[in-house]
């Protein structure tokens, strides 16, 4: 093992290794900032380039593109509220409010520090316990995944303010319903397509995310310009990049917890950075007390650090099943699995023994890649943050352009643009009625996985719901989910017992 680590370290620290890491981080960051071009597209574009180089350096390049793209997605989430990558949706909940408060520099700097910490800590976990954790991840059945998805949905409690829990549940159900549009993967029947061939493939995540976050934000600025003056903050309000000692002490435990959570979620095939970021955000909000809890959704540093740490840790964790079992944990690692096979390598338990140079080069390059990502992006933050200093009409036009072009380039279907505008208008109406939008996107993301795992679990259990308590692991996850749901319910019941304030009574009258 020591010999393999030294071999990987020499490859990662060679001039070719550093060059390919830097190239991958730069390309990934740039592509990640563009809505519609996520890490899968970025890595797919890199495959022809890697054919002509050594497999070790090819994998180093693709790994750099992967975590670079996740970091780039965070930048667009913070600056223009346009999360083009599902794993950075939760970043926008507090990152964008911070940017609107004139603290875009601090938000981007914290995102860089959190990404670096999450990725580095996860690389340590990967190096130490990859084979053992791979066996643990294989012990998960469909019933466990279904229970895990349910636990992910309990995060809606974290995205609803006081008195909004029922609205959050309704939005989650709407998101799950939207996820069912298209052809039923089991029976082949059409669901909610209304006879339209444009809906046979379902609704893409990018379309929903762009419409309810970026496009509705831009339309809101056009329709009600007086309320959006702070969107185009002048350069003098970009804020300081430095974090105070108190702020570092505040977010340090969050980064530690989210690194562990993100890595553990990342090693589960099919879970990935999206669930990790949502669960980390929900966990920190539930752990926060008093004023700290009220800051979530309003520009909380904890709320920004948690998902940013978790999504990078999950990216690193997703390499555990890929390298040790040959099982892709996400769409991105599936593309990388194809690249490994194209090299003539066999991913799986024997990769560590047969090709230690490739196995350890990828792991060691993660340390280098995280350092490169940090030092490449920190000096660029003042220039990136100046995006917010653009004149408001120009910024609105840019958001509209990137949103619409990003969605169109994925499908080349004008129907998606009409659907996108429709969702944006619906989102505007729901926002006016004080419905939270985050639960909708959470339900939409988890809806497909929830359904497929529920079906498989029911088939294995011969149609009995008893699979929820027959296995100790499933039962534990289910009990945790129930406990997480009981917290807002107890708050709601306690609120009923308290006398209503006079102002509220007069309003009701």
Each residue of 81-97: pLDDT tens digit? 777 677 788 888 888 88
Q: Identify the three-state secondary structure at position 183.
A: strand
pLDDT at 257: 92
Residue ranges of the domains in the chain? 1-224+242-495
pLDDT of residue 309: 92
Cα distance between residue 324 and residue 423, in whole Å: 42
Distance, CA of 131 to CA of 48 (rounded, Å): 30
R_g over Cα of the chain: 23
User: How many whole angstroms separate alpha carbon 93 and alpha carbon 426?
Assistant: 19
Report DSSP state, residue 367. H
As a whole number of angstroms, the distance between CA 58 and CA 55 comes to 5
Indicate if the alpha-carbon torsion angle 434, 439, 445, 447 is positive or negative: negative
Phi, psi of 162 (to 5 degrees): -60, 130
Using alpha carbons only, give the angle 400, 434, 303 rounded to the nearest 5 degrees.
75
Q: What is the pLDDT of residue 80?
A: 78
- The pair of structure tokens assigned to 100 is 């609107």
CA distance to 284, 288, 292, per residue, from 295 (Å): 12, 10, 5
Distances (CA, A) of 408 to 21, 27, 208: 31, 22, 13
Spatial separation of the C-alpha atoms in residues 133 and 362, rounded to whole Å: 18
Using CA atoms, how far residue 355 sits from 317, 327, 346, 347, in Å, is 20, 17, 9, 9
| CB-CB contact of 454 with 144 (8 Å) | no
What pLDDT score was predicted for residue 231? Answer: 44
DSSP single-letter state for residue 182: E
pLDDT of residue 502: 45
Work out whether strand 190-191 and strand 182-183 pair parallel, antiparallel, or are unpaired. Answer: antiparallel
Write down the pLDDT at residue 185.
Answer: 80
Do the beta carbons of residue 410 and residue 206 sit within 8 Å? Answer: yes
Q: Give, rounded to a whole angstrom, the gap between the first and last alpha carbons of the chain.
A: 73
Burial of 243 from C-beta contacts in 10 A (0-12 / 13-18 / 19+): middle
Q: List, as one string, the DSSP characters of 184-225.
A: -TTT--EES-TT-GGGTT---HHHHHIIIIIIHHHHHHHH-G
Phi and psi at residue 182, in whole multiples of 5°? 120, -160
Q: Which residue is associated with the tokens 């600025």?
A: 221
User: Could you identify the residue written with the tokens 């008893």?
Assistant: 466
Q: What is the mean pLDDT of the chain?
A: 79
How far apart CA 396 and CA 392 sit, in angstroms, is: 6
Placement of tokens 């539930």 in the chain = 286
As a whole number of angstroms, the distance between CA 135 and CA 500 comes to 54
CA 130 to chain centre: 22
The DSSP element (H or E) to which 486 belongs, if any, is helix 472-497
Q: What pLDDT tens digit does each residue of the chain (509 aa) get? A: 677 778 878 888 888 888 888 888 888 887 777 765 667 767 777 777 777 788 888 888 888 888 788 777 788 788 877 776 777 888 888 888 888 888 888 888 888 899 889 888 888 888 887 767 666 766 778 888 888 888 777 767 666 666 677 888 898 899 999 989 998 887 888 898 888 888 888 888 778 877 887 788 778 777 766 554 444 444 446 667 788 888 888 899 999 999 998 888 888 766 677 788 888 888 888 888 878 888 888 888 999 999 989 988 888 888 887 777 776 666 677 777 777 877 788 776 677 777 788 888 888 888 888 888 888 777 777 777 666 667 777 777 877 887 788 788 777 889 989 998 999 899 889 988 888 887 888 788 788 888 888 988 898 888 888 888 888 888 888 888 888 777 666 766 666 666 554 444 333 33
- Contact partners, residue 119, CB within 8 Å, separation at least 6: 67, 312, 313, 315, 316, 366, 369, 370, 373
pTM (2 decimals)?
Answer: 0.76
The structure tokens listed for 223 are: 């329709």
Q: Beta-strand (E) ranges in 135-211? A: 182-183, 190-191
């Amino acid at each position: 093992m020591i010999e393999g680590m030294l071999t990987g370290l020499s490859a990662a620290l060679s001039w070719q290794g550093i060059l390919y890491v830097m190239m991958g981080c730069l390309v990934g960051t740039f592509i990640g900032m563009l809505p519609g071009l996520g890490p899968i597209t970025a890595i797919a574009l890199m495959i022809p380039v890697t054919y002509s180089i050594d497999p070790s350096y090819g994998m180093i390049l693709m790994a750099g593109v992967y975590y670079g793209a996740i970091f780039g997605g965070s930048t667009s989430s913070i600056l223009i509220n346009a999360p083009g990558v599902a794993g950075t949706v939760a970043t926008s909940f507090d990152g964008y409010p911070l940017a609107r408060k004139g603290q875009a520099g601090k938000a981007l700097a914290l995102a860089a520090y959190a990404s670096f910490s999450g990725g580095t800590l996860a690389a340590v976990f990967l190096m130490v316990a990859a084979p053992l954790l791979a066996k643990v991840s294989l012990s998960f059945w469909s019933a466990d995944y279904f229970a895990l998805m349910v636990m992910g949905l309990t995060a809606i409690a974290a995205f609803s303010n006081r008195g909004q829990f029922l609205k959050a549940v309704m939005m989650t159900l709407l998101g799950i319903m939207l996820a069912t549009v298209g052809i039923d993967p089991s029976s082949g029947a059409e669901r909610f397509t209304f006879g339209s061939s444009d809906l046979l493939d379902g609704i893409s995540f990018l379309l929903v995310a762009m419409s309810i976050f970026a496009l509705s934000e831009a339309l809101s600025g056009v329709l009600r310009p007086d309320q959006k003056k702070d969107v185009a903050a002048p350069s003098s309000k970009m804020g300081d990049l430095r974090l105070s000692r108190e702020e570092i002490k505040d977010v340090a435990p969050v980064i530690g917890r989210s690194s562990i959570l993100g890595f553990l979620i990342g090693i589960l095939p099919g879970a990935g950075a999206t669930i990790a970021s949502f669960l980390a955000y929900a966990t920190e909000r539930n752990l926060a007390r008093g004023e700290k809890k009220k800051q979530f959704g309003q520009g909380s540093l904890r709320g920004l650090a948690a998902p940013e740490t978790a999504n990078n840790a999950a990216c690193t964790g997703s390499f555990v099943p890929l390298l040790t079992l040959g099982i892709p944990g996400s769409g991105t690692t599936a593309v990388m699995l194809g690249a490994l096979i194209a090299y003539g390598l066999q991913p799986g338990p024997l990769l560590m023994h047969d090709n230690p140079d490739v196995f350890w080069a990828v792991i060691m390059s993660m340390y280098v890649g995280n350092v490169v990502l940090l030092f490449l992006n920190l000096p660029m933050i003042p220039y990136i943050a100046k995006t917010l200093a653009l004149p408001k009409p120009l910024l609105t036009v840019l958001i509209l352009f990137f949103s619409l072009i990003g969605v169109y380039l994925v499908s080349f279907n004008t129907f998606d643009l009409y659907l996108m505008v429709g969702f944006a208008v619906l989102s505007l109406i729901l926002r006016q009625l004080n419905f939270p939008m985050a639960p909708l996107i959470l339900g939409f993301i988890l809806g497909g996985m929830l359904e497929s795992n529920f079906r498989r679990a029911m088939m294995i259990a011969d149609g009995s719901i008893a699979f929820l308590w027959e296995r100790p692991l499933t039962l534990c996850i289910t009990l945790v989910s129930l406990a997480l749901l009981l917290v807002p319910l107890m708050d709601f019941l306690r609120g009923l017992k308290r006398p209503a304030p006079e102002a509220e009574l007069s309003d009701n009258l």
